[in-house]
Structure 1
Amino acid sequence: MTRLKGRVTLATVAGSAGVSVATVSKVLNGRSDVSPATRARVQEILEKHGYVGRRPEPARRETIELFYQGVLNAYSVQVIQGVVEAGQAAGVDVVLNAHPPHPQASSSGRAAPWIRDIIGNSRQAAIGITSQLADADLAALARARLPLVVVDPANIPQPDVTSVGSTNFAGGMAAAQHLLSLGHRRIGYIGGQPTSACNQARMSGFRSAMDSVGVEVPSEYIWLSDFLYDDGVAGGSAMLDLRNRPTAIFAGSDEVALGILEAARARGLRVPEDLSLVGFDDTEVARLASPPLTTVRQPLREMGAVALRTALQLAAGEQVSSHHVELATTLIVRGSAAPHELSSVAAS
């Protein structure tokens, strides 16, 4: 069989095989109404001459917008990983966009430009991580009927906003109870913003445990700023410079705990000999810290996965069992907290 010259088309293949263009098209499309002999002859010619048909239009996949406000850290990376892995399993695409932190409600009552961009991108749903949304943003998403799921919202979520978090109150209580069981009574808390829902829950759990044994927490033992390393350094420095400094500190995040470790190191204090420390999150940095952090584990990747699956349910018009899902926290004991000794009291 001689090779056809020039551009090979359906018509040239049909002419060489002695069949109609429609028959060649049926062979290419896998139709069954072609005799085996004709099919074999046409396929032989197609293969012989390297016929390449038009590229088929790619199948349109569902796309979820994942947005994050602020600087990416170990916490957010694990949540994002959970969202992406669940998206792969569900056969949907996940588009990650970062936006300015803590947007303020516009005086004009208009949604933020990046919210309008999400609505205009024809997404099936949106997922926000530790995001603070103004009323105008939420109203715009509601008008566009774009489902929204927020992981650990930075502000108190409205009742009709679907969110995913962990048992922060129970986690805060477990952290304090662990330090109390080690004999500590002067325990400080360094955490996030006062308006943060997860921060309020962690601090409330901490206070509840302290109240249960009749231990009062002085105002100078509470430091609220953000969940970042620099906040741990600042809060730790202020607390450890007190004349009657705490013998233990519960940090609202692992990153804050690392900052407290640095503040202690700068003052010649050893952890856990001179200061016991408990973090929150159980990110990779908790295991790599020196000493490794005792911390409250949040199932961060699972939180991301639940957010993705919930967003798809809402996009499909399905009812969800709860507007707020809380996954269980677990205390992970490592090496940063130790029994309180009289020598520590003397050293303080």
Structure 2
Amino acid sequence: MERTNGARATLDAVATAAGVSKATVSKVLNGRPGVSEETRARVRGTLRAVGYTPTTGPRDPAPAGAVQLVFDALVNPYSVYVLDGVLAGARDLGVEVVTSVLQPGEDAQPAELGVDEIERLGAKGRAGLVIVTSQLTAQEIAACRRLDIGLVAVDPVNPLDESVVSVGATNWAGGVQATEHLLSLGHRRIAYAGGPQRSVPARERLHGYREALEAAGLDADPALTLHDAFRADAGARMAATLLGREDPPTAIFAGSDAIAMGVLQAARAHGLDLPGDLSVVGFDDTYGALWTDPPLTTVHQPLRDMGRVAARTVLQLARREPPDSHHVQLATRLVIRDSTAPPRPRATT
């Protein structure tokens, strides 16, 4: 279908060209269910062919040119800090931000944004997409490129090709810093309670932990390495397992502050004195780390700065400017509080 005399294509015209009702076109535009995948694909193809720009239907709260910020979850302090940084960075540049949260996948699979949603964002005129701690597929990356939507991934959970700009922290170095601190206190039975094995940041922190042990002449004990979600309940589960070992650890490096909080809870449930019987180090340095009992020694990662860099970079891409770097890693540092101490001598028989 072609426009005549430069006239703008209407919703009725799109429906006629696609051989569907006007209501069906509206459902596709707004991402609503009730349309088969075959019909949805046909309508999307027609919308692209005629260059249709929606003017009716639900009003978008942000103007064209806004940045879409997508989280896998907004229930943890990590996400709140990154959100604060993106909002501050966008505000400095005079750009609106729209935030959304992915729905969990089936059978505990990682949540995905989906090509349909990316095409809907393209139809709304989004300048860029910042996606946080979420999985990106090759199809989604290709859709952003085809629709000319700038794409930046913050702490992506899966490896990405070199064309995708990512922002994160020096997770490997942070793992080294946490483990070296525990080693310097005299600990030798040091466990790692980390995030999901599929998570790139979790694996980088694990590799830093192993590197520090190896540099100290110690072998990483597989029985002291566990993986679960970046949540307090997961930390409590892993700590219960580790502390139930025949030769339990004297220290645990937790892959996030949330995990560390669960570790502290489980240690108290086991009747342990903290940090006398067990030292704990977290990762993130979120606000809650100040208010744990005892206050948490943790690896600080500059989450707000990561958000600011992501906002600035995605707008560079939207303006077709080369990014400062395709892989930005901001430095971590260890913050020592009261949850770590030298191990107590173990009683001998």
The answer to whether TM tops 0.5 is yes
Q: Does 1:222 align with 2:222?
A: no
- Is the 2:104–2:110 Cα contact (8 Å) retained in structure 1? no
Q: Does 1:121 align with 2:128?
A: no
Q: Does 1:297 align with 2:300?
A: yes
Offset of residue 322 of structure 1: 1.5
In structure 2, what is the Cα distance between the partners aligned to 1:149 and 1:123? 13
Larger Cα-atom Rg: 1
In structure 2, what is the Cα distance between the partners aligned to 1:93 and 1:266? 46
Q: Which runs of 5+ in 2 are unaligned?
A: 1-61
In structure 1, what is the Cα distance between the partners aligned to 2:75 and 2:160? 22
1:233 and 1:62, CA in 2 relative to 1: closer, same or farther beyond 3 A? same
Match of 1:262 in 2: 265
Offset of residue 123 of structure 1: 0.4
In structure 2, what is the Cα distance between the partners aligned to 1:183 and 1:250? 14
Offset of residue 340 of structure 1: 1.4
In structure 1, what is the Cα distance between the partners aligned to 2:186 and 2:115? 50
- Is the 1:102–1:131 Cα contact (8 Å) retained in structure 2? no
Q: Which of 67, 70, 87 does residue 70 from structure 2 map onto?
A: 67
Following superposition of structure 1 onto structure 2, how do residues 195-214 of structure 1 map, counting pairs within 5 Å?
195-214=198-217
Match of 2:177 in 1: 174
Q: Secondary structure at the match of 1:346?
A: coil
Q: Secondary structure at the match of 1:210?
A: helix
- Is the 1:230–1:256 Cα contact (8 Å) retained in structure 2? yes
Q: Which of 234, 237, 241 does residue 237 from structure 2 map onto?
A: 234
Identity %: 44
Match of 2:284 in 1: 281
2:221 aligned partner, one-letter code: P
Following superposition of structure 1 onto structure 2, how do residues 1-348 of structure 1 map, counting pairs within 5 Å?
62-101=65-104, 111-342=114-345, 345-346=346-347
- Is the 1:162–1:323 Cα contact (8 Å) retained in structure 2? yes
In structure 1, what is the Cα distance between the partners aligned to 2:119 and 2:248? 49
Aligned residues: 284
Offset of residue 167 of structure 1: 0.6
In structure 2, what is the Cα distance between the partners aligned to 1:155 and 1:226? 15
- Is the 1:61–1:93 Cα contact (8 Å) retained in structure 2? no
Aligned-residue Cα RMSD (Å) equals 2.0
Please give the TM-score of this superposition, normalised by the length of structure 2: 0.78
Moved more, 110-119 or 304-313: 110-119
1:133 aligned partner, one-letter code: L
2:132 aligned partner, one-letter code: I
In structure 2, what is the Cα distance between the partners aligned to 1:113 and 1:230? 34
Per-residue CA deviation, residues 210-251 of structure 1 (Å, 9 max, x unaligned), is 001111121110001121111101101100111100000000
In structure 1, what is the Cα distance between the partners aligned to 2:197 and 2:284? 18
Per-residue CA deviation, residues 101-125 of structure 1 (Å, 9 max, x unaligned), is 468699xxx9443333322221000
- Is the 1:125–1:148 Cα contact (8 Å) retained in structure 2? yes
2:228 aligned partner, one-letter code: S
Q: Secondary structure at the match of 1:273?
A: coil
Q: Secondary structure at the match of 1:265?
A: helix
- Is the 1:233–1:260 Cα contact (8 Å) retained in structure 2? yes
1:119 and 1:105, CA in 2 relative to 1: closer, same or farther beyond 3 A? farther
- Is the 1:99–1:114 Cα contact (8 Å) retained in structure 2? no
In structure 2, what is the Cα distance between the partners aligned to 1:105 and 1:179? 33
Match of 2:52 in 1: none
2:254 aligned partner, one-letter code: A
In structure 1, what is the Cα distance between the partners aligned to 2:235 and 2:260? 6
- Is the 2:132–2:154 Cα contact (8 Å) retained in structure 1? yes
1:148 and 1:102, CA in 2 relative to 1: closer, same or farther beyond 3 A? farther
- Is the 1:129–1:151 Cα contact (8 Å) retained in structure 2? yes
1:321 and 1:293, CA in 2 relative to 1: closer, same or farther beyond 3 A? same
1:155 and 1:220, CA in 2 relative to 1: closer, same or farther beyond 3 A? same
- Is the 2:64–2:125 Cα contact (8 Å) retained in structure 1? no
Q: Which runs of 5+ in 1 are unaligned?
A: 1-58
In structure 2, what is the Cα distance between the partners aligned to 1:158 and 1:172? 24
In structure 2, what is the Cα distance between the partners aligned to 1:306 and 1:149? 10
1:157 aligned partner, one-letter code: L
